[in-house]
Amino acid sequence: METCWWVLWWRLLVVLAVADVGLAIDEYSRADFPDGFIFGAGTSAYQVEGAANQDGRSPSVWDTFAHGGYAGGPTGDIAVDQYHKYKEDVQLMAEMGLDAYRFSISWSRLIPDGRGNVNPKGLEYYNNLINELISHGIKPLVSLYNFDHPQVLEDEYGGWVSRKMVEDFKAYAEVCFKVFGDRVSHWTTVNEPNILAHGSYDQGISPPGHCSPPFGAATCVHGNSTTEPYLVLHNILLAHASTVKLYRRNYQGKQHGLIGITLYAFGFVPDTNLTADVEAVQRAKAFYLGWAADPLVLGDYPEIMKRNVGSRLPRFTTEESELVKGAFDFLGLIHYMQVSVKDNLSSLSLELRDFNADMGAQIMMDHDSYFTGFPVRPRALQEILEDFKQLYGNPPIYVLENGQVNVRNTSLIDVARVEYLQAYIGAVLTAIRNGCNVKGFSVWSLLDVFELLGGFQTGFGLYYVDLDDPDLPRYPKLSAHWYSHFLKGGIIDSSANVELASNLSSVTDLRSQRSSY
């Protein structure tokens, strides 16, 4: 068969791109990874399920936030309708060759009032999804929380700003352990609590959208940016640790699962070679990652945070420190991009300070990259994994989100995503060979979903979802074929090529084909 022009074009671009990013490993296959290493892909409940008003589900803070005008009008009411299309999606996973599917449970769907009675329809849906995955040999990697507690708890006592959330979260988690735990091998409690606390309670850019002037989004009507981020992260750590204690005491021995929490990590580099910027990188690491990782591993917040934040940073009692320290069997890691850091110690002289001012550093970020694509800097991920090895005792790490964004369009030839994944999976292998204790890797995301930043304007998916078709059909992108090629044992190198059907170039062509079936 004659090679299509775009296959040659893609091959050339991959060769040039890999040469440009300077991969530590320029050829590898799945066989190079340790036995038992898990490869998967992920989504989360509000972003993928839809059926927001069906079968007894109550509104979550995500619903309220989205309906408040976030992302220019679109919401997750329908999302990409995995609630009704889960069997089709699991079939796609099986055909791709995934070991695991990472998804979250909607607290509002399972326990609509936040506490008390379990919704039978919610229970049925998650049982069906888990059973469908297992019947296809796919492990469920389950997150209990992804920015989406029931709105009723937000209305009652403010959600995570209240210590009451600790007990309600633990009770919700116990229901999940009881009804699903016999089939779930990996649990994570809260997704990226460090980003949740900062983004949702200081900047106001994610649900429930808290902030206060002069900080954060102009649309915030609730919150206190100077105190709430620290209070929220503290309460999340206590809820997480209490849940881990419960799981270990009552369920782990008979269910044999593992439990952890998922943290977000930027890659940081100094904006210049000046000593001040180099030192600012260390503060940024302490504030963004150490804020959660230090208590979990060492039992307390970083010293620089205690000094800079002062009395606004909650303190752990001796008992709480002992509870939080070591409260994980593994740590989940989310990483997408490297940013530069510039010294800003002058912010510490401000009378009114938020998280960014307390850090005394300025994150130099190209916000357009959240739409146009992240720069490919795989060494940033290697360095983060090396930090976990050197600073935190080399705990088991699962990279649970990593992937490339692009403006949502009709192109299925996502060369940039292939380039990105090839580089970052190679970086994970390099880290493993350097002694880092990495156990798994999950691509974000399986499908183009309703994104936290950008709604439906952007996409991370291995599969394109045609939102203009009421059936919401899924179409594999080049990256889906590439990932499947890798998962099924194919060699990945600078000239790797997956032979694709010639109709992959546009969704328009695919629509025409569907109409002729």
Assigned token pair, 412: 């299925």
Find, among 235, 215, 249, 233, the residue nearest to 289 by Cα. 233
156 is catalytic: no
Q: How far apart are CA 379 and CA 245, in angstroms?
A: 35
Q: How far apart are CA 471 and CA 456, in angstroms?
A: 17
Q: Which of 49, 154, 192, 419 is catalytic?
A: 192
Q: Are 487 and 39 in contact (CB under 8 A)?
A: yes
Residue 22 exposure: Cα atoms within 13 Å on the Cβ side: 5
Region of residue 467 (left: phi > 0; alpha: psi -120 to 50; beta: else): alpha
In three-state secondary structure terms, 244 is helix
Assigned token pair, 30: 């799945």
Q: How far apart are CA 118 and CA 140, in angstroms?
A: 21
Find, among 206, 167, 276, the residue nearest to 46 by Cα. 206
Q: How far apart are CA 174 and CA 195, in angstroms?
A: 25
The CA-atom distances, in angstroms, between 306 and each of 281, 292, 312 are 17, 13, 9
Assigned token pair, 346: 């002058």
Find, among 483, 513, 504, 389, the residue nearest to 42 by Cα. 483
49 is catalytic: no
Q: Which of 49, 132, 401, 451 is catalytic?
A: 401
Residue for token pair 């990409």: 80
Helix H segments across 374-487? 378-391, 415-433, 478-487
Residue 358 burial (C-beta neighbours within 10 Å; 0-12, 13-18, 19+)? buried
Assigned token pair, 59: 């509104």
Q: Are 166 and 118 in contact (CB under 8 A)?
A: no
In three-state secondary structure terms, 45 is helix
- The amino acid at 2: E
Active-site residue numbers? Answer: 192, 401
